Chain A
């Protein structure tokens, strides 16, 4: 069973699938959607929006990009109170890569390479935005989260640029490039250990029945 399904795949009957699972607001279905990939791409979107010249995005590649005929654009001003974005912008390039990797890998499904899963290949592209990767498509919009305890998230558009090979004029080094750097720096064992720590923390947090204080007052929270 494990050999044919893979270690990270639970049996079909293991999870409840309430109506609307993998269903998007516009009605289309994206089986195999991985929310953690959307979260990682949101990190990239924050840098692209507010600080394209950040060392974790294009700042380290100024000279290379100028040889390629690209110019690093200016970022927008961060809205007051958007603390999550400020925290991301305060990361160093190395720290950003590690955070992005751990966010991506905390379910064990999205790790060293961003590539389409078999269920993505069944998707039919009708609007020319291209095929999904783990259920996320180019240009997907991550909705905003209203103000709660002085924090808010204003939403962003996601791009799959990091999944492409080579240097991107929007998101800099590719995902594989970043992961190769992390593997060279930490080694597979240390990286695996950090993944496990975050995974354990995620499981513990999910067992709590208290509502997230950061989301208190938000509709549905």
Chain B
């Protein structure tokens, strides 16, 4: 089939949202096999797409076949995993269409990792609830959770093993016996909350402190390892998104790339999921497009006119659409966003992979060239400092020079 050259007027190189949108269009068409040989470039402030697909086929691909990349950030509360029925993940989680299958399995994988963390948090709460003097006192469910937890059983076994040693001094044995009683007491049925004096005594007991410290350690460990665990367990689109959203340095410390940042108050992933909900019928068997989706897609790709833009959060990549003073007729205007713009922009942001090269020394933070802290930046900065302070450039030692001459 002969190639067709399309001019995507809706994908100018500025603002950044449109630049990323063009990258998203090209990536999806190639990766999702609509045309693996498609090529794209900018020319005369427009994105040009060279593909065997016709204009109609490109539109049909996005409307009927496009399977959204699962962009999920479970570490961010704003992603929607900590709220029942969140408008972001909930509709996708309950969808049945094949095109949303990667998203569904991504949400499941995230929940699996978060469940362990939530459980560790609940165990800490169950321990602390035993010292509450009011209606927040430990419930029977919390007691059962604590009894069944690995932390509780491990702590108790350790104390019992230590107390079983024959050569223990009597004072140490009494101490361990008291600690065992403290820990066992945390799951004993109680008819009433403790008095403030009893609660204080319990908080200061060795057994209580020891169990709480172990539970805290487990929670912190899980929290710190969430991103490495995602990196280890996630595959496919989830892994690609993670690589774009966060880089891990040699010590496993997360570094947030400039493009996406930490998500902040406006969680990109939740917004992405909500915008998908504005384009597709999530409850339908085939995830068919909603009535406005075709017109909005034409606006996003070919810059045709539309009056179906949404008033919603736009993010920092398209500041001109954020609304505000003098943005429309009248003194103030709402934001005007095409959901396709946001969806395709996020799909394009996945192309940015600021990963740390495997053989890069961990002491050097890896950043985009030209950015502060990049190798080139530091080199230029050293040169500038030398010039300003008139420090001579370091010379080779005499011994080195002699060795070179030899």
The answer to whether A8 and B379 have CB atoms under 8 Å apart is no
B154: interface (CB < 8 Å): no
A5: interface (CB < 8 Å): yes
- Least Cβ distance of B366 to chain A in Å? 11
B239: interface (CB < 8 Å): no
Chain A contacts for B404, CB-based, 8 A? 19
A-contacting residues, B22-68, CB 8 Å: 39, 41, 50
A67: interface (CB < 8 Å): yes
Given contacts A121-B376, A166-B41, contact A64 B50 (CB under 8 A): yes
The answer to whether B3 and A67 have CB atoms under 8 Å apart is yes
Chain A contacts for B376, CB-based, 8 A? 121
- Least Cβ distance of A9 to chain B in Å? 7
The answer to whether A6 and B358 have CB atoms under 8 Å apart is yes
The answer to whether B379 and A122 have CB atoms under 8 Å apart is yes
Question: Closest residue to B40 on the A side, CB-wise?
Answer: A166
Interface size on A, residues (CB 8 A): 17
Given contacts A121-B375, A122-B379, contact A63 B39 (CB under 8 A): no
- Least Cβ distance of B23 to chain A in Å? 12
Alpha-carbon distance A5/B376, docked complex (angstroms): 20
B250: interface (CB < 8 Å): yes
Alpha-carbon distance A38/B72, docked complex (angstroms): 43
Alpha-carbon distance A71/B13, docked complex (angstroms): 27
Alpha-carbon distance A166/B404, docked complex (angstroms): 42
Chain B contacts for A166, CB-based, 8 A? 39, 41
A118: interface (CB < 8 Å): yes
The 8 A CB mask of A43-66 against B (1 = contact, 0 = none) is 000000000000000000001100
Chain B contacts for A7, CB-based, 8 A? 358-359
Alpha-carbon distance A5/B361, docked complex (angstroms): 7
The answer to whether B250 and A63 have CB atoms under 8 Å apart is no
B165: interface (CB < 8 Å): no
The 8 A CB mask of B364-406 against A (1 = contact, 0 = none) is 0000000000011001000000000000000000000000111
B193: interface (CB < 8 Å): no
Alpha-carbon distance A6/B364, docked complex (angstroms): 14
Given contacts A3-B250, A121-B375, contact A67 B50 (CB under 8 A): yes
Chain A contacts for B359, CB-based, 8 A? 5-9
Chain A contacts for B379, CB-based, 8 A? 121-122
The answer to whether B362 and A118 have CB atoms under 8 Å apart is no
A-contacting residues, B338-371, CB 8 Å: 358-363
Chain B contacts for A3, CB-based, 8 A? 250, 362
The answer to whether A118 and B375 have CB atoms under 8 Å apart is yes
Alpha-carbon distance A67/B358, docked complex (angstroms): 39
- Least Cβ distance of B370 to chain A in Å? 12
A167: interface (CB < 8 Å): yes
- Least Cβ distance of B40 to chain A in Å? 9
- Least Cβ distance of B10 to chain A in Å? 20
Instruction: Known A-B contacts: A6-B359, A19-B405. Give 10 more (CB < 8 A).
Output: A3-B362, A4-B250, A5-B361, A9-B359, A63-B2, A64-B3, A64-B50, A121-B376, A122-B379, A166-B39
- Counting from the closest, the 10 A-B pairs by CB-CB distance are A6-B359, A4-B361, A67-B5, A63-B3, A121-B375, A67-B50, A64-B50, A167-B39, A121-B376, A64-B39
